[in-house]
Amino acid sequence: MDASAMSDARTMPIRCAGRLPRPVTSIGWGAFKIGRNEGIKYPTPYDLPTDETATHLIHAVIDMGIGVIDTAPAYGLSEARLGAALGARRAEIFLSTKAGERFEDGRSTYDFSGHAVGASVAASLDRLRTTHVDCVWVHSDGTDLAILRDGGALQALAGARERGQVRAIGFSPKTLEGAMAALDDARVDALMLEFHPRETSMLPAVRRAGAEGRAVFVKKPLASGHLSPAEAIPWILQHPEVTCVVVGGLNADRLRATAALAQA
């Protein structure tokens, strides 16, 4: 690790939530773009990096002090590329993945049954080449209340947590009602939700989660590329209940500049 990377690692702010197994950096990296470029909501298309380029970027992210990496089975090659690249550096990061969604043949399909979620966790661990992940998010398709009422997904994750495969259980809702219902379930340790200057409807859930010691991870903080980091990141982090802001991207210099906004 060079001197500049060491400086980044020392100065990256850390945030805590009582229900997480460990503190996390206030900026995390979403590993979507190293694995998938189909069915995207970003304003401009992009090419997938090569295996070598993806590996270099993964190590650059860790070197710059970002200690959270988020992936998903629906992110194409992402989990497998992380598993191949992390090696001994796995212990340096809070690693999260998702369950409930698959992306094949250009389309997403969803299955929140206990069997499907359990199988998804096992497959993710295999692709990531790890014995456990720090959090698994139930990745809602918008039917938040139905997923929670059925209970199979959370039951499967609770079993995985008992076996040591999962350290924290997360829910990623699409609606405020769903977020509040997730917080009503004692098994849920964390929420992952969209929250930025153009999307403030989740503020009541953010505040409640913080008051209850649940973690709040913010996804799509730049509104899928429609907000500038300088506009969004400081605004989000001014809310003390936010535990981590997950940003994406393939350019290490831009990621470093975005991460620096958390240190301002």
Q: Which tokens is 209 given?
A: 């989660």
Partners of 191 in the β-ladder: 171, 216
Q: For residue 58, give its domain range.
A: 3-260
The whole-number average pLDDT for the span 89-94 is: 97
Stretch 160-174: mean pLDDT, rounded?
98
DSSP state string for 94-150: EEEEEESEEEETTEEEE--SHHHHHHHHHHHHHHHT-S-BSEEEEE--S-HHHHHHH
Question: Which distant-in-sequence residues (6+ apart) come within 8 Å of 245 by Cβ?
Answer: 26, 27, 28, 217, 218, 221, 233, 236, 237, 262
Cα–Cα distances (Å) from 138 to 28, 82, 100, 141, 149, in that order, read 18, 20, 6, 9, 13
- Please state the rounded mean pLDDT for residues 208-233: 95
What is the average pLDDT score of the chain? 93
What is the model's pTM?
0.93
Band (pLDDT 50/70/90 cuts) for residue 225 is confident
Domain count, the chain: 1
**Cα distance between residue 223 and residue 146, in whole Å:** 26
- The pLDDT tens digits of the residues spanning 38-69 come to 877 776 788 999 999 999 999 999 999 999 99
Predicted confidence band at 1 (pLDDT cuts at 50, 70, 90)?
A: very low
Kindly report the CATH number assigned to the domain that includes residue 188.
Answer: 3.20.20.100
Question: Across the strands, what pairs with 72?
Answer: none
**3-state SS assignment for residue 34:** coil
Averaged pLDDT, 237-249: 97
pLDDT class of 264 with cuts at 50, 70, 90: low
pLDDT digits (tens, 9 = 90+) for 62-81: 999 999 999 999 999 999 99
